[in-house]
Amino acid sequence: MKKRVAIVMGAFHHEQVERMLVEAKQTLQAAQLEVISEVWVPGSLEKPLALKRLLLRSDVDGAVVLGIIERGETKHGLVMGEVVMQAIIDLQLQTMKPVGVGILGPEILSDQIEPRLLPYAKAAAEALAVMLK
């Protein structure tokens, strides 16, 4: 039976994350994983709650999280990135379900985003596939 997975995405950089979604879905499909839910949230701080809701479902075996935390004028993005990543790790350990993380940053610069979009999405989906095998 195919493993079923979900994808959580931040909408703050919607156009770029949409491209990441396409790449992640293609990679998951190639790995024989079925995407049964796609959830958009406003930004990175909302990802852990959406992710937890999905991981608690009995029909979800794992998830991919996609997004961008760009460098700003303050350390807000760095702090946000640290708490979001820790929450994602904690959720994996609490639920014993893997999460592939395709979040660019924190502190990524605008000109660094484009070349990393598809590779990060692909790597997150591949990591999930490996952990589900």
User: Can 13 be counted among the known catalytic residues?
Assistant: no
CATH of the domain at 106: 3.40.50.960
Instruction: Residue 20: give the domain boundaries.
Output: 3-132
Pick from 24, 101, 96: nearest CA to 69: 101
Whole-model pTM: value is 0.96
Which pair of structure tokens corresponds to residue 33?
Answer: 């994983």
Q: Rounded distance, CA 39 to CA 76, Å?
A: 24
Predicted local confidence at residue 120, as pLDDT: 98
What is the predicted pLDDT for the residue at 69?
A: 96
Task: Write down the pLDDT at residue 121.
Answer: 98
Scanning the structure block, which residue is given the tokens 């958009």? 40
* pLDDT reported for residue 72: 84
Domains held by the chain: number:
1
- Active-site choice (2, 14, 75, 76): 76
Walk along the chain (133 residues) in steps of 10 and give the mean pLDDT of each run.
96 97 98 98 97 98 97 89 97 98 95 97 98 96
